[in-house]
Amino acid sequence: MCDAVTRVMFGAIYAAEGSSSEVLLASAQEFSPRVDRVSDPREIVLDLSGLTRLFGDARTIAEELRRTAADRGVQIRVAIAGTRTAARLMVRHRAGITIIEPGTEAAALAPLPLALLGELAGDVNSQLPKSVGNWELGVVFKSWGLRTLGELAALPSDDLAARLGQDGVRWQRLARGEDATPLVPSVPEERFEQALDLEWPIEELEPLAFVLGRLLEPLEAHLERRGRGAAVLHVRLFLVKSAGETRDVHERSLQLPTPIRDARTLRTLALLDLESHPPTGPIDRVVVAVDPTPARIVQFSLITRPLPSPEQLSTLMARLQALMGETRCGSPALVDAWTPGAFEMTTFTPVDTNAIHSHETRSSVDMTVALRRFRHPVPARVRLTDGKPSRVTIDRRGMDGGGVRVCAGPWRTSGQWWRKSESDGWDRDEWDVTLTDGATYRLFRARDTEQWFVDGVLD
């Protein structure tokens, strides 16, 4: 098998009962980065294509695999074939080292018992259909008098499909040692975490800033190498344990609006959060971890102005939340309610101006009338003529009011009178008025107090 032309070659290793799956995986990864961990922790499949030039022929590779595993205290059996299905079936049946030349898989597997397919039935990576994952067809094959893989492989495929459908054909292909799908290597779980044990406990945020910077810099490099960004930042501060007490951990998690991996930005966000939620004692161990996510791809436009970077926006929002409170900063969103001015605060997410611009170039922009509502209604004095506003005086600098040129209304609205709190209910008459100064206002009269207010300005 050590030819000038590289051949496809797969290996399956099967460890003795009670062996460590992690040790088995480490032994396999010394030979090939393309490793598939199946549901059985004692079995691993490797892609050995192209390794003959490095290690020698297939038997030499198998011997090196056994020697490497034995050095780690694990006894394994090895099978190498041109398909991973053939290698897996053979390694479960025969101990020691088995080499199957490419193209001879069906002949090599023919004497093997048909029950071997049943051992792969519960394996999610065995390429078997879910409808027969419990080896129901094994009873059918046994009733037909089939005992070996070769007997199943020799049946006419058309007749088998007519009786059992495509599920039966898939079982037959497995009995011949054929692979239905390519090998998908198992991606090892990678932790993005840094920890540091302090020689002396610290209590202030200023020395903690240096520790966070020292931990976040290698974390940034790790994220950059993997093309990832931080979606969630976790900071765990281990407090000094007092005599007879359990060790307390002060943990904070920050949900980031966009993937970020800049160490300075992450440190600033962590410190701003800790200013609002400080630890309750001295710290002697710091752990920083992130939940990774694919990094963002930024493509600027030559037509529109670029938005501020997510790092700048995240820092600004963190400073505002530390100053005003976490529930007082964000983006307002309408709620499904008739209450005047009702809204809720949501997470601030910048709008993609490029998408808006491309939409505007395809279709015309709809012109609508907008009401710029005052957060707190402005008191006003209104003169009525024949039951309609005729003059408005507004008690606010810069809004002098004037005579009413056009008015529309009233619209009577009320609601939430059934609630216990009187501040939740409302009962008002609303008017839209255009004054002599050219401005159009929304007025309302509170029917319970007979007071007038300016609710907003119509644009």
Whole-number mean pLDDT of the chain? 80
* CATH code reported for the domain at 10-175: 3.30.70.270
How far, in Å, CA of 188 to CA of 1, rounded? 30
Question: Helix, strand or coil for residue 193?
Answer: strand
Q: In which element (H, E) is residue 68 found?
A: helix 58-71
Task: Report how far Cα 50 is from the mean position of its chain's Cα atoms.
Answer: 35
Q: How far apart are CA 225 and CA 230, in angstroms?
A: 13
pLDDT above 90: percentage of residues in the chain: 10
CA angle 381, 414, 389 (to 5 degrees): 25
The full set of domain ranges for the chain reads 10-175, 193-294, 371-458
Strands 43-47 and 10-15: antiparallel
Q: Of 187, 78, 186, 177, nearest to 127 (Cα)? A: 177
Tell me which CATH code domain 193-294 carries. Answer: 3.30.1490.100
Mean of pLDDT values over 152-180:
87
Lowest-confidence pick of 203-207, 215-219, 365-369, 443-447: 365-369
Given a cut of 50, whether residue 114 has pLDDT beyond it is: yes
- In whole angstroms, how far apart are CA 455 and each of 214, 277, 320? 53, 38, 27
Give the torsion sign (CA, 256, 257, 262, 266).
negative
C-beta of residue 339 within 8 angstroms of C-beta of residue 423: no
Q: Is the pTM of this model over 0.85?
A: no
